Chains A and B, each alone.
Chain A
Amino acid sequence: MKGWSELLLLTGVLVACWTRTPVGSAAAGAVALWRGEEPPDLLATFSTELPRQMQDSIVEVLGEPPTSEQVFAPLTPEELAVGWTPAVRTAVAAQLGEEALAEVLALSARIEAEGEDSAAVEAALETWAVGAEVRERAVRRARASGEAEPGRYASHRRFLPDEAAVAADEAVEQSLALATVFDLAWPVDPEARVSSPFGYRFHPVLKTNKLHEGVDIAVPVGTAVHAAGDGQVQRARFDKVNGNYVKLDHGHGVSSAYCHGEAMHVEKGQQVTRGQHVMDSGSTGRSTGPHLHFGLRFKGRPVDPGPFRERGAAAALDLPEAPADPVVPDEAVEG
């Protein structure tokens, strides 16, 4: 009896080791190589590694975002009751599908009614992906280990089983990142001409193709530049390339940058709201004429803000008159 219980115990420890540690991944990898199969990633059992794997799919969605009509379709009373925004509704539909929308909404309503969580949308999305029991387990573990806000996804994510964490990332992190992006406004009058789009272009000095990591918008010096969304000022400084340069962190891996400003009206670390006047456009830094370089990044990777211009047009912002024209491309390299 003692022998058997010991064997069972050993099996448990070894299986846990095999499935949950890099040493186990290495052993599994050796077996896979021996059988001529693809070995698993050694970093797969690190909980921070998982969100890094989802970049490609979201960049795909960002390439063809929903139209203004979709984003600005009026909310139903149920959606309003649980504090959803149009961007959240659209993001959930784009990420999880129309069928999931009603289910997530019902979960949101239940979680709101229970008064369990301040972040009801997050909790509803996670519950939809992994189930209430699995989520509750992770929350309980995070609470036991002394996490300050165990109910928040970021706090208890590491206590989810690996497959559940991947599923939850897709539902929670991607949806909320998309919602953040869909909520962004255009920083100046959307009628202003885009003089140089996002993408690869021939660089006159380097004589090679170089990625233009944003869009150049033709606006005269002194045009008010507005924050594209709520967020925190990550950088507000001058350098010889970007000139006066403001970078905003909107959360969920989304950031926006505004370059070549004449004057900056915010400081590093400051909280800003969507539409706040953060900069006056100009032609500082390596710029050949007055314009605004507007960049958008997701998880550090530059994405094209162009498709959001039409969306921005519908955002109710107090914007200046349509500007005068001509402008030449620049070399902004906001980090």
Chain B
Amino acid sequence: MLRTLTRAVVRTATTSDRVAGGLARFATTLGQCALVVLGVHLAADDLDDRVLASLSWVVDQADLRLAGPVETVAGWFGRPAGSWQWWDALPLGAMSGWTALTVELVAAGLLCGSFLLTSRTAQPTWVRWKRALSVQAVVLPLALSGVLLAGGWSLSMAIEDVLPVAEAAPWASRAAAAVVAFAALLRFGLPAWLRAVAALEPPARWTAGWAAAVVLLPVGALAWIHGVPVWGTLRHALEAL
């Protein structure tokens, strides 16, 4: 009787522990992906502006170079001038928005996949990384680190925005936000990065991963440039010197 009871208790404890362990692993994975999604969006938001500016430039150039010839051709067909200037009616804002969103989703998928689709055994080492040297081995760690840092900053801004402003201690909400951001980077960001780097395999060719790099490079660069809140401070410090 007693033995049965003990066994039942032990079994329940073990099961709940396993469930808790599984939940924790699931929670970590979810947190890692969420941090990536946050960071990628900070970069994509900036990408949207840049795509819009480039599209506007292209349309301006098209208008400058094509307006005359197109009008001539339209004239041959007896169409009034201006009726074929399709570029004037392009919804540039929506085009840039959807482009940025597509890049964002692809980048988030690639980055999450880089640590989700691996076994979590090995630790990354310098030697292993050098053996795996390829386009992917360079671009992925750089892009992922920028995106994770940007995700941390985005999280800290979200926390700061929901906290009330304390008149007496305006720095309190900032400090709290910073603590949460650093905790998320340590708990979710760092393990994700280590896992992704450890998973890099020796490539068949050094160009391996170039297609992914086309998406990851701009996203990573923008995340580093606009998603890491240190450049202003650094510039201030340099100007003070």
Contacts and interface: CB of A to CB of B under 8 A. Distances in A.
B144 interface: no
B41 A9 contact: no
A335 B63 contact: yes
Interface stretch (A31-39, A215-223, A236-244): A236-244
A40 to B, nearest CB: 13
A1 interface: no
A48 B52 CA distance: 9
Given A20-B154, A43-B98, A49-B93, A13 B88 contact: no
Interface residues on B, range: 35 or more
Interface string B172-193: 0000000010011001100000
Interface string B16-39: 000010001001001100110110
Nearest to A143: B232
Interface of A: 3, 5-7, 9-10, 12-17, 19-24, 42-43, 45-49, 52, 133, 137, 141-147, 150, 158-159, 161, 203, 205-206, 237, 239-241, 286, 331, 333, 335
Interface stretch (B6-14, B77-85, B114-122, B128-136): B77-85
A333 B44 CA distance: 34
Nearest to A2: B24
A146 B235 contact: yes
Interface in B33-80: 34-35, 37-38, 40-41, 44-46, 48-49, 52, 63-64, 67-68, 71-72, 75, 80
B34 A47 contact: no
B187 A9 contact: yes
Contacts of A137: 160-161
Which of A6, A7, A12, A335 has the most chain B CB within a 10 Å cutoff?
Answer: A12
A13 B155 CA distance: 6
A14 B34 contact: yes
A209 to B, nearest CB: 14
A150 B226 CA distance: 13
A295 B72 CA distance: 24
Interface stretch (B100-108, B195-203, B204-212): B100-108
B169 to A, nearest CB: 13
Which of A16, A49, A158, A205 has the most chain B CB within a 10 Å cutoff?
Answer: A16
Given A48-B48, A49-B97, A335-B88, A9 B232 contact: no
Majority secondary structure of chain A interface residues (helix, strand, loop or mixed):
helix
Contacts of B232: 142-147, 150
B49 to A, nearest CB: 6
B159 interface: yes
B138 interface: no
Contacts of B170: 133
B214 interface: no
Contacts of A9: 31, 180, 183-184, 187-188
B53 to A, nearest CB: 10
Contacts of B187: 6, 9
B145 interface: no
22 contacts: A9-B184, A9-B188, A10-B31, A12-B158, A12-B159, A13-B31, A13-B38, A14-B31, A17-B37, A21-B40, A22-B105, A23-B105, A24-B37, A46-B101, A49-B48, A146-B225, A206-B83, A240-B68, A240-B75, A241-B81, A333-B88, A335-B88
Contacts of B184: 9, 12-13
Nearest to B30: A10
B78 to A, nearest CB: 8
A22 B27 contact: no
Contacts of A147: 232
Nearest to B151: A13
A203 B34 CA distance: 56
Contacts of B105: 22-23
B38 A240 contact: no
